[in-house]
A and B are shown apart, each in its own frame.
Chain A
């Protein structure tokens, strides 16, 4: 089931005008920023399908930029996010694409700073709900059904066991888990959907584990 909470239906509280093209777009931007871990210095946003056709009318652009500035769907500053981005020193550009994607509301967010860059594909599936389908070339199936943790790590033995042991110690049950890697011994990614809320203490503990590069949480 893609929608699990009544508040996916009655909600979110948001700045108009569109739940999929404004609120969902803001959430895609915000998850990207979460995954990046800090304020990016630049953003290149590729829009597909209905996003590409109607983004201006739905304020999809200001919403994604608002998300990249860490604004929630009901943050009034979404309306002036372009100015806020300039003030925060974040350059951005939007590129409407003509290519076909599986879902009509798709955005690829490429963000970075002087140190590194990141690419993420998100889709807005209706009512403000989103899914992340790709991260740095790793295909994902982050359904949004549960709270989830994304762990970027070096492809070394023991990483997966350490992470799952840590979750076990905190009584957190894994509902769904995917592991993928670019190439043997290189960067790898764990996507773990869990049944319980993951608090900051658990996140910090995960970050301390060996060979872990980055840990991000996606809450409901």
Chain B
């Protein structure tokens, strides 16, 4: 299969030599591989964008999962932002609350767009709809944000993994956060190389993150990991835009993520057998939700 890029180095080189945005290279590659028109591809991505908007909107109104483990935090965060005393700033908390909103909808079996997975679906839209308020992008630029995210995700999925069962949470929320960081940089006017630096800086700080969902549900700690993934992405984008670079090249960071995922024990890869899932409270919650012997009283 002929592709325009197989790794981040090729992606950035092509964007810079052809003087194009990373999102443009992704669109061109999609046209090449699927033999579909630019318009068709843009329309499909806009549909995904609309699903993301609706999910955030729904989550900000307040949803709760069947298990009762998650829900309502996006509402709390928005109310807190309104008061105007937040320490981490409006944009940051807005990104966090919208990431949480999306994942609360996901946990409640609502409709979302996997980016790159459902468990990590909050980070890319959360950051997009927060950064939007400051950068005032056009609708096309918002769609491009998703293509830029997708370009980096494409490299990770093919060269490492985007599956928690295969690589832990670093492969899911880690990838999502790094993808979002790269996309923020492009939307803010940074160079393709700066997008790659933002990606590398984010991913480096997500390495080793395990997948240990309580009761096997995509709720605890997934929703809050999306919150932190979003904040990580915004900070890394700012660092890259400031001119900070990663000493370890982007593709090598992705390689390290893959290696770490391979050596991670299966108890920490979406089996709900280790980490937070295996804590006394984690086990108590599992017994409470699915029945069986409830030992102790939890918290």
A residues near B (Cβ < 8 Å) are 1-23, 49-50, 53-59, 74, 76, 78-79, 103-105, 124-128, 145, 175, 196, 220
Docked Cα-Cα span, A7 to B112, in Å, equals 14
Q: Can you give 23 contacting A-B residue pairs, CB < 8 Å?
A: A1-B6, A8-B157, A9-B116, A9-B153, A10-B146, A10-B147, A10-B149, A10-B153, A11-B114, A11-B115, A16-B112, A17-B109, A18-B118, A19-B114, A19-B121, A49-B266, A53-B270, A54-B216, A78-B109, A105-B163, A126-B116, A126-B117, A128-B118
Q: Which residues of B contact A124 (CB under 8 A)?
A: 163
Closest beta carbon of chain A to B211's beta carbon, Å: 9
Closest beta carbon of chain A to B140's beta carbon, Å: 15
Q: Which residues of A contact B3 (CB under 8 A)?
A: 1, 4
B residues near A (Cβ < 8 Å) are 1, 3, 6, 26, 29-30, 33-35, 41, 44-45, 47-48, 51, 105-119, 121, 124, 146-147, 149-151, 153-154, 157-158, 161-166, 171, 179, 213, 215-219, 266, 269-273, 289-290
Docked Cα-Cα span, A194 to B112, in Å, equals 30
Q: Which of A13, A22, A78 contacts B48 (CB 8 A)?
A: A13
Q: Which of B30, B124, B161, B165 contacts A49 (CB 8 A)?
A: B165
Q: Which of A56, A57, A74, A126 contacts B162 (CB 8 A)?
A: A126
* Contact of A6 with B26 in the complex, beta carbons under 8 Å: yes
Known: A5-B34, A9-B150, A126-B166. 12 other contacts (CB 8 A): A2-B158, A3-B158, A6-B147, A9-B116, A9-B153, A10-B150, A10-B153, A18-B118, A50-B165, A104-B266, A126-B162, A220-B34
Q: Which of A1, A13, A49 has the most CB of B within 10 A?
A: A13
* Contact of A57 with B272 in the complex, beta carbons under 8 Å: yes
* Contact of A145 with B219 in the complex, beta carbons under 8 Å: no
With contacts A1-B1, A18-B119 known, is A127 near B162, CB below 8 A? Answer: yes
With contacts A12-B114, A19-B119 known, is A127 near B106, CB below 8 A? Answer: no
* Contact of B270 with A50 in the complex, beta carbons under 8 Å: yes
With contacts A6-B30, A6-B154 known, is A16 near B116, CB below 8 A? Answer: no
For residue A78, which residue of chain B has the nearest CB? B109
Q: Which of A20, A50, A126 has the most CB of B within 10 A?
A: A126
Q: Which residues of A contact B216 (CB under 8 A)?
A: 53-58
* Contact of B111 with A15 in the complex, beta carbons under 8 Å: yes
* Contact of A53 with B1 in the complex, beta carbons under 8 Å: no
Q: Which residues of A contact B45 (CB under 8 A)?
A: 6-7, 10
Q: Which of B6, B26, B106, B290 has the most CB of A within 10 A?
A: B106
* Contact of A16 with B218 in the complex, beta carbons under 8 Å: yes
Docked Cα-Cα span, A22 to B219, in Å, equals 14
* Contact of B112 with A5 in the complex, beta carbons under 8 Å: no
* Contact of A9 with B107 in the complex, beta carbons under 8 Å: no
Q: Which of A1, A5, A56, A126 contacts B161 (CB 8 A)?
A: A126
Docked Cα-Cα span, A172 to B178, in Å, equals 38
Q: Which of A3, A21, A22, A76 contacts B157 (CB 8 A)?
A: A3
Q: Which residues of A contact B154 (CB under 8 A)?
A: 3, 6, 8-9
With contacts A54-B271, A57-B215, A127-B157 known, is A4 near B113, CB below 8 A? Answer: no
Q: Considering the complex of A and B, which 7 residue pairs feature the smallest CB-CB distances, nearest first?
A: A54-B216, A126-B163, A57-B216, A16-B106, A9-B153, A17-B218, A6-B150
Q: Which of A3, A12, A124 has the most CB of B within 10 A?
A: A3
For residue A104, which residue of chain B has the nearest CB? B165
Q: Which residues of A contact B111 (CB under 8 A)?
A: 13-16, 74, 76
Docked Cα-Cα span, A128 to B116, in Å, equals 9
